[in-house]
Amino acid sequence: MSSSSTVVVRVPATSANLGPGFDSLGLALGLYDEVEVAVLDDVPGSPGGLDLDVHVEGEGAGELDLGEGHLIVKAMRATFDRAGVPQPRRLRMRCLNRIPHARGLGSSSAAICAGVLAARALAAPALSDDEVFEVATRMEGHPDNVAPCLSGGLTIAWTELSGTPRKLKLSPHGGVRPVVCVPRTRLSTEEARGLLPKEVPHADAAANAGRAALLVAALTQRPEMGLLLAATEDRLHQDYRAPAMPATADLVKRLRVAGVPAVVSGAGPTVLVFGTADTHDLIASEVGSDWHIQPLDVDRSGASVQFPETR
């Protein structure tokens, strides 16, 4: 491992599920966390053990673990182990977080991807893109946020019978205009998943399969409001999770009654809307002051890695 090397990783927010595409569809959004990681030279005469310096600004500042429990650090350690390279003794990490935490916008996936990519850039260049995706998916537990974070655009993710995660990147139509409505309240993915039943009616599964296929076509070819409204209908997870986020469920319902394609973003409680310039006022009137409304671009390139000049 080279000493005194620095890497900067930029990772996008993501929205998973997109309504009917439960645990399979994901979209990268133009909202980014930035992480600078440096492997430092050992100081002559310094004591043994690990020397870790973590600083966080923005989302999570004052809340996150600043030691080995930090998710980026854990992802880096896991990647070093996967690549079979020694753990660096001295690490410095600076995080600028813009992705809201526990809101359904992929903050944990972004952290994991940042850690895996930083570790590869610093010490494991032989690690393939497939291996990076696999390490990140294993840590996150499911690939639907990890896939668009790494690849950008619209992604379809699945797991083969062997347990190997796979992903396919698609290019969303230029007319796709995501808007996120972010509440003040938080909801953990684990809590939201705990509300899902072990079995669902066959008719609901069939309906979601058809809507998910239609949604892929609408997002890549014909992002018309009427088509997107039909394509974003869900029967597998949103209603079951509604008791944990009643305000979110109510907002989704009101927007959809008004003809606006709205879904729960990931596990919630953020609401993702596919809008147009004409729908912004309608969204604002339905949302009210308790939500932060933010139009976002679709991120089309995914996570990026840069080596800044030596300071």
Residues 161 and 184 in one domain: no
- Determine the pLDDT at residue 42: 63
Here the CATH number for the domain that contains residue 89 is 3.30.230.10
Last residue of a domain, one of 132, 154, 171: 171
Enclosing domain of residue 84: 5-171
* Sign of the CA dihedral with 165 first, then 168, 169, and 173 last: negative
- Determine the pLDDT at residue 44: 47
Residues 154 and 56 in one domain: yes
Closest by CA to 290, choosing from 226, 256, 260, 245, is 245
Residues 54 and 77 in one domain: yes
Residues 288 and 148 in one domain: no
Residue 301 lies in a domain: no
Last residue of a domain, one of 138, 171, 204: 171
- Determine the pLDDT at residue 1: 42
Residues 243 and 290 in one domain: yes
Instruction: Count up the domains in the chain and report the number.
Output: 2
- Determine the pLDDT at residue 217: 97
Query: Two tokens at 306?
Result: 């840069």
- Determine the pLDDT at residue 65: 86
Residue 130 lies in a domain: yes
- Determine the pLDDT at residue 3: 45
Last residue of a domain, one of 106, 136, 171: 171
Question: What one-letter code names the amino acid at 230?
Answer: A
Partners of 157 in the beta sheet? 167
Per-residue 3-state assignment (H helix, E strand, C coil) for the chain: CCCCEEEEEEEEEEEECCCCCCCCEEEEEEEEEEEEEEECCCCCCCCCCCEEEEEEEECCCCCCCCCCCCHHHHHHHHHHHHHCCCCCCEEEEEEEECCCCCCCCCHHHHHHHHHHHHHHHHHCCCCCHHHHHHHHHHHHCCCCCHHHHHHCCEEEEEECCCCCEEEEEECCCCCCCEEEEEECCCCCHHHHHCCCCCCCCHHHHHHHHHHHHHHHHHHHCCCCHHHHHHHCCCCCCHHHHHHHCHHHHHHHHHHHHCCCCEEECCCCCCEEEECCHHHHHHHHHHHCCCEEEEECCECCCCCEEECCCCC
Residue 300 lies in a domain: no
* Sign of the CA dihedral with 120 first, then 124, 130, and 135 last: negative
- Determine the pLDDT at residue 51: 87
Ranges of the chain with pLDDT below 50: 1-3, 44-45, 311
Residues 105 and 217 in one domain: no
Phi and psi dihedrals of 28, rounded to 5?
A: -85, 140
Residue 304 lies in a domain: no
Residues 20 and 146 in one domain: yes
pLDDT tens-digit series, residues 110-137: 999 999 999 999 988 999 999 999 999 9
- Determine the pLDDT at residue 49: 53
- Determine the pLDDT at residue 266: 95
